């Protein structure tokens, strides 16, 4: 089949790679220069993990997580740093309790650590007496920038054609057997009734060294990474302000307060020094599930929402390639346009 893919973020590139390796002719259409910073896939790092506070996502990641190692083996590029993840919060929190239950039911390696031992996994961390940290060693971060480039390189090596064009799905559906839309925050232009919320999130790099695991605070949903040459990346996962993805991003004051509060309260950094502050587009749905569906007979769309989307990029690409060849859309993600 001759397939058009609209969008060259992690989902679009992974889909193109999966399709071309199955023998299809693939054309990718991207409205901005490749590896741009306007959408959801840009930046240096993304958290990758096998464990979630949900049994559904944990089960899915047991399949998806090893695909990063597969991509490393295919490309010879080190992409994942497995430093572990520490998810911490109140011992009685619903997400903490369901997370522990999910890990136990799926036999995912983990430790539940109190205030004395949790800082052994994450330097400077402060937990209260009623709080715990769930440490999972099969987690860390993926170099998002490198992942995009090596996936692109595989596509080019297998003769995927790239077009610097916005690409109208309805027009492409006339000149191709199938059009797959993986347009991130622009997906609502194609499917206006899609229940996807497009927001802009803020992150930056704290200059005080923080070492150890990647982390997520269950109370505020602030998250962070161990320090690299830019600093310790810290962001706010809670939905930021609604945004038009065509607009240039402006860091949010509320997000910055979440970031600074996390640095003060959790890491004892009395005067945070957050540099290289920028934004990225988030998409989210009320139930945090992806959305996949058909527009007409030969336009397939996928909205693989932020927070889950990047770490599942290779899995989503393989899944969309399978749908192209007649497999059903996963029932949890199916959306009737």
Contacts of 287 (CB under 8 A, 6+ apart): none
- 259 and 279 assigned to the same domain: yes
Q: Are residues 131 and 208 in the same domain?
A: yes
Domain's final residue, options 236, 260, 284:
284
Same domain, 119 and 18: no
- What stretches of the chain adopt beta strand conformation (E)? 2-6, 25-30, 45-49, 80-81, 85-90, 111-113, 131-136, 139-143, 161-164, 178-181, 197-206, 214-217, 222-224, 232-236, 274-284, 291-295, 299-303
Structural domains counted in the chain: 2
> Domain for residue 53, yes or no?
no
189 and 202 within one domain:
no
> Based on the domain organization, do 278 and 319 belong to the same domain?
no
Q: Is residue 168 part of a domain?
A: yes
pTM: 0.94
Specify whether the CB–CB gap between 198 and 188 falls below 8 A.
Answer: yes
Mapped onto helix, strand or coil, the DSSP state of residue 174 is helix
Clarify whether residues 131 and 204 are in a common domain: yes
In terms of domains, do 276 and 154 share one?
Answer: no
Closest listed residue to residue 317, CA positions, set 160, 177, 163, 164: 160
- Per-residue pLDDT 10s for the chain (337 aa) are 999 999 999 999 999 999 999 999 999 999 999 999 999 999 999 999 988 878 888 889 989 999 999 999 999 999 999 999 999 999 999 999 998 998 898 888 999 999 999 999 999 999 999 999 999 999 999 999 999 999 999 999 999 999 999 999 999 999 999 999 999 999 999 898 899 999 999 999 999 999 999 999 999 999 999 999 999 999 988 767 889 999 988 888 889 999 999 999 999 999 999 999 999 999 999 998 999 999 999 999 999 986 789 999 999 999 999 999 999 999 999 998 6
Same structural domain, 275 and 253: yes
Q: Are residues 110 and 156 in the same domain?
A: no
Domain of 240 in residue numbering reads as 85-137+197-284
For the domain that residue 318 is a member of, what is the CATH number? 3.50.50.60
> Is residue 160 in a domain?
yes
């Amino acid at each position: 089949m001759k397939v058009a893919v609209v969008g060259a973020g992690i989902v679009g590139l992974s889909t193109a790679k999966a399709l071309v390796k199955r023998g299809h002719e693939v054309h990718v259409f991207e409205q901005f220069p490749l590896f741009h910073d306007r959408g959801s896939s840009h930046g240096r790092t993304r958290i990758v993990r096998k464990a979630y506070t949900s049994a559904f996502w944990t089960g899915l990641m047991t399949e998806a997580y090893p695909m990063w190692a597969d991509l490393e083996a295919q490309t010879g590029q080190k992409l994942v740093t497995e430093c572990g993840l520490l998810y911490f919060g109140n011992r009685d929190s619903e997400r903490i309790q369901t997370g522990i239950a999910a890990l136990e039911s799926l036999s995912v390696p983990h430790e539940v650590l109190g205030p004395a031992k949790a800082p052994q996994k994450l330097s400077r961390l402060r937990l209260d007496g009623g709080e715990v940290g769930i440490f999972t060693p099969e987690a860390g971060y993926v170099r998002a920038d490198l992942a995009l480039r090596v996936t692109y390189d595989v596509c080019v090596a297998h003769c995927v054609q790239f077009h610097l064009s916005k690409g109208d799905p309805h027009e492409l559906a006339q000149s191709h057997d199938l059009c797959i839309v993986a347009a991130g925050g622009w997906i609502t232009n194609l499917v206006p009734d899609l229940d996807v919320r497009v927001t802009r999130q803020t992150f930056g790099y704290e200059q005080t060294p923080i070492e150890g695991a990647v982390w997520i605070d269950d109370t505020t949903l602030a998250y962070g990474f161990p320090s690299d040459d830019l600093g310790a990346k810290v962001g706010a996962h809670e939905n930021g302000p609604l945004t038009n993805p065509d607009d240039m991003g402006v860091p949010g004051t509320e997000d910055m307060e979440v970031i600074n509060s996390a640095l003060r309260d959790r890491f004892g950094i009395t005067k945070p020094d957050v540099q290289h502050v920028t934004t990225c587009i988030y998409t989210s749905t009320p139930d945090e599930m992806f959305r996949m569906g058909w527009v007409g007979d030969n336009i397939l769309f996928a909205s693989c929402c932020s927070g889950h989307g990047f770490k599942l990029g290779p899995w989503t690409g393989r899944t969309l390639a399978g749908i192209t060849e007649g497999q059903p859309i996963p029932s949890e993600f199916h959306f009737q346009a």
